[in-house]
Structure 1
């Protein structure tokens, strides 16, 4: 089974009447993976589909939405593997020997 067959069967199971440009989705997903991170690929494809459905987008509008997503991914200033210097992994002190039973916390 190829991707096109999978899409056809999945649309049947999900009761979705639509045409899917699998090449566009694959390319957009690859760009998001390359420029953002691995899991950005499927999330980007999902959100593109969600936006297209919510807007009742025709194929031309889907391409414009994909171009916007692609532009965002290509201009992403935090490439895959980027580590925010402010996000420091500091060890959490072990206070398991401290008795906290009388402490009160305000909500």
Structure 2
């Protein structure tokens, strides 16, 4: 039976990358995202953590800081699965072409 550390070593070889992976940190972060957000958030969260670490050339300490940011977000997540943010709902814009807006002042 292959353990996770062996799998990571083999996968890194197959992907032709050299990196150290804290599988405990990734597992804990994945579990937290699954518990507080939704099931698919676990692997997506760890993928995005890896992507962020790669694009920022992050070393182990920086990866831990990035993971702490993700952990904080997941722990504070207050929207259950299926929640629809009212700001993200596509609603038709009313047609007000017949309304005279001349003289109105709008703040930007």
Per the shorter chain, which TM-score range?
Answer: 0.7 to 0.9
C-alpha deviation, 1:82, in angstroms: 4.9
TM-score (normalizing by structure 2): 0.75
Unpaired runs of at least 5, structure 1:
87-107
Unpaired runs of at least 5, structure 2:
87-108
Give the whole-Å Cα distance in 1 for the aligned partners of 2:14 and 2:84.
Answer: 42
TM-score (normalizing by structure 1): 0.75
RMSD: 1.7
Aligned length: 86
Give the whole-Å Cα distance in 2 for the aligned partners of 1:85 and 1:59.
Answer: 35
2:42 maps to what in 1? 41
1:50 maps to what in 2? 51
Q: After the TM superposition, list the runs of 4 or more consecutive aligned residues in structure 1 that deviate by more than 2 angstroms.
A: 81-86
